[in-house]
Homo-oligomer: A and B are copies of this chain.
Amino acid sequence: MSLFRTTRRVEFGDTDMAGIVHFANFFRFMEAAECEFLRSRGLSVKMDWHGQAIGFPRVSASCDYVKPARFEEVLDVAVRIDRIGKKSVTYAFEFSRDGELIANGKVTSVCCRVLHDNQIEGIEIPAGYRARLQGTGER
């Protein structure tokens, strides 16, 4: 059950000499979809949370490629939360075109406090952030 759906049009610069979307770009597409989902909930991957800068650096990412995607195609992107731990969240993404699966992937991020000079320190996901993420919090 996806929480959020968006679309992504393949740009010329997303392709490679094989004539298809370069495999690394699906990770950018996932990140953009995640951010769009977060925005829809009043959240961001990098934001001020009650006076504290927090961020969500990635700890793992994976993608399975089923069919190629080509220039100017519009991909449907479904985003769901696969798992929320104390400190981390895993998103699952599904890319399809006209109902046909193109690729699916996962990205796991950990909640961090961002200190001086971009140094980071893992923290528990703030309760209010978590609530909004799950769609139960107030905005």
Contact = CB atoms under 8 A, between A and B. Distances in A.
Given A11-B32, A31-B12, A39-B72, A57 B24 contact: no
Interface stretch (A62-70, A80-88, A93-101, A126-134): A62-70
Interface of A: 11-13, 15-20, 22-25, 27-28, 31-32, 35, 39, 44-46, 55, 57-65, 68, 70-72, 107, 114, 117-118, 120
Given A12-B16, A13-B28, 7 more contacts: A11-B32, A12-B17, A12-B22, A13-B22, A35-B72, A44-B72, A61-B62
21 contacts: A11-B32, A11-B35, A12-B32, A13-B24, A13-B28, A15-B16, A15-B17, A17-B18, A17-B19, A17-B20, A18-B118, A20-B118, A23-B61, A24-B25, A24-B28, A46-B71, A59-B64, A60-B65, A61-B62, A61-B65, A62-B63
